[in-house]
């Protein structure tokens, strides 16, 4: 047996990293990077790992958006556009029974509008997917995730739920607000050094699964947000911006059991059938 037969290589890794290294060397040469600068860069990346911020770094450098675009067929009008997941998904969110409400009020909760999001989950040909499961995570009216805000119950503004026989769903939440990605760690220092603001437009994250279909991870945005054109992770897609309607009519409020105006937003979801093996 020859010596090379003992070496198990991964061709894909070998091919891609060879190009990564060539590109890196070219940049280091072009900028005449010094030994001290290179060691500082390595120490910085070590810190990013220690703080578990590599996904965040990928997001704010808009690398996650590029990978999303490379991984999903662009602009297919028959399916809902995908978007990046970000680092704030939590495993094992609670199952929410109908009528679905994904939050509890908490001490000191900021003012905001109740929002009902509804739509249908279908296949790309429009046929309903009654077995679909929707998983939501978002910030509330204070602009903070449950993970960052000790006043909120665990898993607040998160939850999984099913759809009905026609693929229809509705859930009650509150209109989210723009917020900043975490800035207290090494990625926050990077943003400051390069002069990039940390804000994201208000959005709701969706993860949808249905048998025989590709899983979809996406986000919904709202018009007139000050950061719609200037998301720090560059993840806004025009196809994912959905109108919000405000309802002030007394009868509608009574039907919903509410005593102040509320908002609605429609978001139909079309999934791509999985490729057959
Ligand atoms: C988010 O939308 O949850 C998010 C995305 C990227 C970085 C931080 C947060
Ligand atoms: Fe988010």
What is the pLDDT confidence band of residue 143, given thresholds at 50, 70 and 90?
Answer: confident
The closest of 162, 92, 174, 165 to 133, measured between CA atoms, is: 162
Give one word for 214, left, alpha or beta, with left for phi > 0 and alpha for psi -120 to 50.
Answer: beta
Cis previous bond, 131, omega within 30: no
Q: How far is the CA of 203 from the centre of ligand 2 (A)?
A: 6
Instruction: Kindly state if the Cβ of 200 falls inside 6 Å of ligand 1.
Output: yes
Q: Is any ligand 1 atom within 6 A of the Cβ of residue 202?
A: no
Tens digits of residue pLDDT in 155-170: 999 999 999 999 999 9
User: What is the SS3 string spanning 210-271?
Assistant: CCCECCEEEEEECCCCCCCCCCCCCCCCHHHECCCEEECCHHHHHHHCCCCCEEEEECCEEE
Total length of the chain: 277
C-alpha 88 to ligand 1 mean position (Å)? 6
**Average pLDDT over the chain, rounded to whole?**
95
C-beta of 79 in contact with ligand 1 (< 6 A): no
Q: How far is the CA of 158 from the centre of ligand 2 (A)?
A: 11
Give tens-digit pLDDT for 75-91: 688 999 999 999 999 99
CA-proximal residue: ligand 1, atom 4 (nearest): 86
8 Å CB contact between 117 and 206: no
What distance in angstroms lies between residue 14's CA and the mean position of ligand 1's atoms?
31
Q: For ligand 1, atom 2, name the residue with the nearest CA.
A: 86
CB of residue 93 inside a 6 A radius of ligand 1: no
Ligand 1 midpoint to CA 205 (Å):
9
Give CA separation, 35 vs 39, 40, 41, 150, 261, in Å. 6, 9, 10, 43, 61
Q: Is the pLDDT of residue 1 over 50?
A: no
**DSSP track, 9-65:** --HHHHHHHHHHHHHHHHHHHHTT--HHHHHHHHHHHHHHHHTT-HHHHHHHTTHHH
End-to-end CA, the chain: 36
Q: What tokens were used for 29?
A: 């040469």
Q: How far is the CA of 129 from the centre of ligand 1 (A)?
A: 29
pLDDT bracket for residue 5 (50, 70, 90): low
- Summarised one tens digit per residue, pLDDT across range 55-81 is 999 999 999 999 999 998 766 889 999
Distance 175 CA to ligand 2 centre (A): 13
Taking only the tens place, the pLDDT of each residue in 215-241 is: 999 999 999 999 999 999 999 999 999
Three-state DSSP state, 108: coil
pLDDT the model gives residue 9: 78
The stretch 127-154 carries a mean pLDDT of 94
Laid out side by side, the sheet with 158-162 consists of 158-162, 133-138, 203-209, 216-221
* Nearest residue to 83 (alpha-carbon basis) of 201, 244, 171, 178: 201
- Pick from 200, 221, 231, 234 the residue to mutate for probing ligand 1's pocket: most ligand atoms within 8 Å of its CB: 200
88 lines ligand 1 (CB under 6 A): yes
- pLDDT band at 277; cut points 50, 70, 90: low
Whole-prediction pTM value?
A: 0.94
């Amino acid at each position: 047996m020859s010596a090379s037969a003992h070496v198990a290589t991964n061709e894909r890794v070998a091919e891609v990293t060879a190009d990564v290294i060539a590109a890196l060397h070219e940049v280091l040469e072009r900028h005449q990077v010094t030994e001290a600068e290179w060691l500082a860069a390595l120490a910085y990346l070590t810190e990013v790992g220690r703080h578990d911020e590599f996904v965040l770094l990928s997001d704010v450098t808009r690398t996650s958006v590029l990978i999303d675009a490379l991984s999903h067929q662009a602009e297919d009008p028959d399916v809902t556009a995908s978007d990046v997941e970000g680092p704030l998904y939590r495993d094992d969110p609670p199952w929410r029974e109908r009528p679905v409400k994904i939050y509890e009020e908490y001490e000191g909760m900021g003012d905001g509008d109740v929002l009902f999001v509804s739509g249908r989950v279908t296949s790309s040909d429009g046929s309903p997917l009654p077995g679909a499961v929707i998983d939501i995570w978002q910030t509330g009216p204070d602009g903070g995730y449950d993970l960052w805000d000790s006043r909120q119950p665990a898993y607040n503004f998160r939850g999984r739920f099913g759809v009905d026989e026609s693929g229809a769903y509705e859930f009650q939440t509150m209109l989210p607000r723009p917020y900043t990605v975490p800035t207290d760690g090494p990625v926050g220092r990077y943003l400051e050094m390069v002069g990039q603001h940390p804000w994201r437009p208000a959005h709701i994250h969706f993860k949808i699964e249905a048998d025989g279909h590709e899983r979809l991870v996406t986000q919904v945005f709202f018009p007139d947000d000050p950061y719609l054109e200037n998301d720090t992770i560059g993840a806004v897609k025009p196809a994912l911006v959905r109108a919000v309607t405000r309802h002030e009519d007394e009868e509608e409020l009574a039907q919903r059991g509410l005593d102040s105006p509320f908002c609605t937003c429609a978001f139909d979801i079309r999934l791509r059938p999985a490729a057959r093996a």
